[in-house]
Chain A
């Protein structure tokens, strides 16, 4: 067992230009995104604005647009883009051998 990473499944389970969710402690979720270029990113699944589920937004380039009020959030930094101000936690994630590995500590502790 890798102490740092947690295998959450094959990367082909992620829709391109879409996202799926991983429930964590405290009833919260991590959203795992896949961009058009195959990049994989993970954020806490709540918009810094009104906690909208970012996993349900439209993914374009390395940005997701929140489904509730169209805030644009960087998948890389978790920062709101444009005029909006706010930040959502970024969860470490990587692809290895076609598997999605997520930061074990963040996944088990739950996201704040």
Chain B
């Protein structure tokens, strides 16, 4: 008797695995025919990258060899793709014209690489990375050329880049999103991966939007929308995959993003099944191997055994990306009631983050050490209550289940032997720390100063605090002499600034990793501070992070209580002229400013400007020769002057001229907080120089310089610093003082509290008594100013960051049409 015919379209991992599952349950049920588009047996597609890298051969990655097909009586039609299905006649037709009859049909057509339709995508030398033929094309290109571009920084793209690198090509990865593998990794892990790959010689460009691929007849390079051009003789397109539903659509089966299937992998036609990447089950499509195996089991159960039903898959990703271990599972997008537990070990290059919600683990991201991935995934899938092991969860299974999770977090450190090492960086034992505490070092800062424990990378801070608590009992208040930068870190501002320089940390995520931040992306306190500290430490190198700026510095205007902005153009030394005044008047009328106000710093403030109008306002002011007044910034605000010897009968020096020179020297320099200067032409002090951050009072014999004044909440007169004879000296001292403040004050410290904290003697010691030190400070200030003195308004008026000023879309109810901005 004739067995019913099972025809499988797709000789890949899903199709063959489904057949294996069916055979395992009932080896004799069907006469099986498998059609494959590729002229070869089933191989492990996941292993294409070691193949590309030359680490494996094709034979190494074959899953089902010819013997398997023969032994199981399977007819393999390889290299002849099915081009049509006739459901009424129950036949499939292949490209060669070959027709096969089926009783049951299984679609395992997988997915197709997505090609972004940029100009040049069809040039010779543009390839995808999906099958053996692609690998062949890449290897041919690799032998002919030296430079490759991979478009797409997801898993597939990075694997391709790794393989090509190992083949000796110079590889540039272009990724549209801001971080690599954003679907599998959070920002912190994505950043670590990028840094590691760059250290291995790949060039990674994130936020890279491809404009075109160009070349005469074959690829010569890729041009980005920002104008950058990357030469390449090979372009690998790895931006994503989409389910291959062409045959199913043409056959009239129900499809969405993939072929619709029920829990038994049956399509809208009861005799047609589908499995793998081509299907959509309960709205989900899958691109990983584990769900595919689960589908194959349910399919075989439903077809030849007791139906079990596929309930969808919870996926985890555990991979080696170019030899680096990464793992992610579940939901790590955060959310209400979610709590992040983060562990960073900079020395080992490890980042771990688990997300807990209501005593359940709901997500995990691991980088560098994925040993506990399976354990986390198991806890997540089973929805186990983790309340009892919560405190130890992040340290992994061995620790959490080995009793490390006792209710008292100090128990572990209490149980350590005296010679146990607490601080690995500085080799400090528990006994030495306890000795220091008993010897009178009763705060964390004191222990750090005395023993250096936790003073380097800081990861043992919790242990040291535990020892303080155990040793001092109720006497330990937990207070710190200096406040930590915020709740995300155990380091003080001073520690962070010192370590940024010592460890040459040059990006915000790098600081967070190296200094063991306990949150994934910081908070609104530490991010602006870190942005400033990096900007100050690495002038000309650090790229400002706009999203870590407070609104005023992001928008280059002062936000008002109604959400509009005020705009203050710079008026050097408080001096203006008819042309500027006309431009200001015109702007006020044209953009319907609700008020124009003279400020305390001798400027004109235009109120009530909408964020959409800001670039146009700036363009108009620029046209009249005015630049940003930085009235919104933690930066040099104004230099206030009186008219001085040029007009005033009491004036002793040209205070207006010196004020203008001072402002031309200092404008644009970002600082820990706002900074105001004034120059008065005589001791009558009409410019109120003695309540400024830096004040100059001109006298007959020279210039009296004073510092640290403040007219704010707490009135503080300046402290006299020094008297100098020349304008140049006044300028040099000013630059030196500002640079000392920039380098040493805490973010959001005005000069007044800073001077009070460090003491006037310290500042005199650095600036007045140490001439060489003063000159070095002045030189560093001028170096930094080279990069600071460009008008942010001009850039915005020219269209930079235009999105910041536009709505994303406009709703027009009459036409019910939306225009994307």
Binding site for B on A (CB under 8 A): 1, 6-10, 12-18, 20-25, 29, 32, 35-39, 50-53, 56-63, 65, 67-68, 70, 72, 74, 76-77, 79, 100, 107-108
Partner of A74, one of B332, B336, B809: B336
Complex interface residues of chain B between 580 and 596 (CB less than 8 A to chain A)? none
Residues of chain B within 8 A of A65, CB atoms compared: 523-524
Query: In the complex, A108→B177 CA distance in Å?
Result: 30
Closest 5 CB pairs of A and B: A9-B820, A76-B336, A65-B524, A67-B551, A20-B808
Partner of B340, one of A20, A24, A59, A61: A61
One digit per residue, 1 when the CB lies within 8 angstroms of any chain A CB and 0 when it does not, for chain B 173-213 equals 00011100011001100000000000000000000000000
Closest to A7 in B: B818
Query: In the complex, A83→B782 CA distance in Å?
Result: 44
Interface-lining segment among B268-276, B553-561, B635-643: B553-561
Closest to B209 in A: A12
Residues of chain A within 8 A of B176, CB atoms compared: 12
The answer to whether B820 touches A13, judged by C-beta atoms less than 8 angstroms apart, is yes
Residues of chain B within 8 A of A7, CB atoms compared: 818
The answer to whether B811 touches A61, judged by C-beta atoms less than 8 angstroms apart, is no
Query: In the complex, A36→B508 CA distance in Å?
Result: 13
Query: In the complex, A15→B555 CA distance in Å?
Result: 14
Residues of chain B within 8 A of A25, CB atoms compared: 813
Residues of chain A within 8 A of B519, CB atoms compared: 60-61
The answer to whether A60 touches B563, judged by C-beta atoms less than 8 angstroms apart, is no
The answer to whether A60 touches B818, judged by C-beta atoms less than 8 angstroms apart, is no
Partner of A36, one of B336, B520, B803, B813: B520
Additional 19 contacts, C-beta under 8 A, given A37-B187, A56-B555, A60-B523: A1-B816, A6-B818, A8-B818, A15-B546, A16-B177, A18-B546, A22-B811, A23-B810, A38-B182, A52-B563, A53-B563, A56-B551, A60-B519, A60-B521, A60-B522, A60-B524, A61-B521, A62-B334, A62-B335
Say yes or no: A39-B334 contact (C-beta < 8 A), given A8-B820, A18-B547, A65-B524: yes
Complex interface residues of chain B between 63 and 106 (CB less than 8 A to chain A)? none
The answer to whether A108 touches B818, judged by C-beta atoms less than 8 angstroms apart, is no
Residues of chain B within 8 A of A62, CB atoms compared: 333-336, 338
One digit per residue, 1 when the CB lies within 8 angstroms of any chain A CB and 0 when it does not, for chain B 522-537 equals 1110011000000000
Closest to A39 in B: B333
Q: Which of A7, A13, A25 has the most CB of B within 10 A?
A: A13
B784 at interface, CB cutoff 8 A: no
Residues of chain B within 8 A of A24, CB atoms compared: 811
The answer to whether A9 touches B547, judged by C-beta atoms less than 8 angstroms apart, is no
Query: In the complex, A68→B818 CA distance in Å?
Result: 31
Closest to A40 in B: B333
Complex interface residues of chain B between 488 and 539 (CB less than 8 A to chain A)? 519-524, 527-528
B520 to chain A, nearest CB (A): 7
The answer to whether B547 touches A108, judged by C-beta atoms less than 8 angstroms apart, is no
Residues of chain A within 8 A of B547, CB atoms compared: 15-18, 58-59
The answer to whether B334 touches A100, judged by C-beta atoms less than 8 angstroms apart, is no
Total interface residues in chain B, CB < 8 Å? 47
Partner of A58, one of B177, B332, B527, B818: B527
Query: In the complex, A107→B820 CA distance in Å?
Result: 15
Complex interface residues of chain B between 762 and 821 (CB less than 8 A to chain A)? 803-804, 806-811, 813, 816, 818, 820-821
Partner of B333, one of A29, A38, A108: A38
Q: Which of B340, B554, B563 has the most CB of A within 10 A?
A: B563
A58 to chain B, nearest CB (A): 4
Residues of chain A within 8 A of B706, CB atoms compared: none
- The B interface is mostly helix, strand or loop, or mixed, namely loop
Partner of B559, one of A9, A20, A32, A56: A56
Residues of chain A within 8 A of B177, CB atoms compared: 12, 16, 38
Closest to B547 in A: A17
The answer to whether B524 touches A61, judged by C-beta atoms less than 8 angstroms apart, is no
Query: In the complex, A41→B177 CA distance in Å?
Result: 18
The answer to whether A53 touches B559, judged by C-beta atoms less than 8 angstroms apart, is yes
Residues of chain A within 8 A of B335, CB atoms compared: 39, 62, 76
Say yes or no: A10-B820 contact (C-beta < 8 A), given A56-B554, A77-B336, A107-B811: yes
Partner of A20, one of B528, B546, B807, B810: B807
Residues of chain A within 8 A of B340, CB atoms compared: 61
Query: In the complex, A7→B524 CA distance in Å?
Result: 31
Residues of chain A within 8 A of B178, CB atoms compared: 16
The answer to whether B807 touches A22, judged by C-beta atoms less than 8 angstroms apart, is yes
Q: Which of A14, A53, A57 has the most CB of B within 10 A?
A: A53
A37 to chain B, nearest CB (A): 5
Complex interface residues of chain B between 553 and 610 (CB less than 8 A to chain A)? 554-555, 559, 561-563
B209 to chain A, nearest CB (A): 8
Partner of B524, one of A14, A39, A70: A70
Partner of B808, one of A32, A51, A70, A76: A32
A55 to chain B, nearest CB (A): 9
Residues of chain A within 8 A of B680, CB atoms compared: none
Residues of chain B within 8 A of A108, CB atoms compared: 811, 813
B666 at interface, CB cutoff 8 A: no
B550 at interface, CB cutoff 8 A: yes
Query: In the complex, A72→B524 CA distance in Å?
Result: 9
Query: In the complex, A16→B818 CA distance in Å?
Result: 23
A9 to chain B, nearest CB (A): 4
List 27 A–B pairs whose Cβ atoms lie within 8 Å, in order of A's numbering.
A8-B809, A9-B808, A13-B803, A16-B177, A17-B521, A18-B547, A22-B809, A25-B813, A36-B187, A36-B520, A37-B333, A38-B182, A58-B524, A58-B528, A60-B519, A60-B523, A60-B524, A60-B527, A61-B519, A61-B520, A61-B523, A62-B334, A62-B336, A65-B523, A68-B559, A70-B524, A74-B336
Complex interface residues of chain B between 322 and 337 (CB less than 8 A to chain A)? 332-336
Residues of chain A within 8 A of B527, CB atoms compared: 58, 60
Residues of chain A within 8 A of B818, CB atoms compared: 6-9
Closest to A64 in B: B524
A17 to chain B, nearest CB (A): 4
Residues of chain B within 8 A of A29, CB atoms compared: 807
Query: In the complex, A70→B190 CA distance in Å?
Result: 29
Q: Which of A17, A23, A107 has the most CB of B within 10 A?
A: A17
The answer to whether B336 touches A57, judged by C-beta atoms less than 8 angstroms apart, is no
Say yes or no: A68-B820 contact (C-beta < 8 A), given A9-B809, A21-B807: no
A65 to chain B, nearest CB (A): 4
B653 to chain A, nearest CB (A): 42
Residues of chain B within 8 A of A12, CB atoms compared: 176-177
Query: In the complex, A38→B180 CA distance in Å?
Result: 12
Residues of chain A within 8 A of B806, CB atoms compared: 20
Query: In the complex, A24→B803 CA distance in Å?
Result: 18
Closest to A90 in B: B336
The answer to whether A58 touches B520, judged by C-beta atoms less than 8 angstroms apart, is no
Query: In the complex, A58→B521 CA distance in Å?
Result: 11
The answer to whether A15 touches B803, judged by C-beta atoms less than 8 angstroms apart, is yes
Query: In the complex, A107→B812 CA distance in Å?
Result: 11
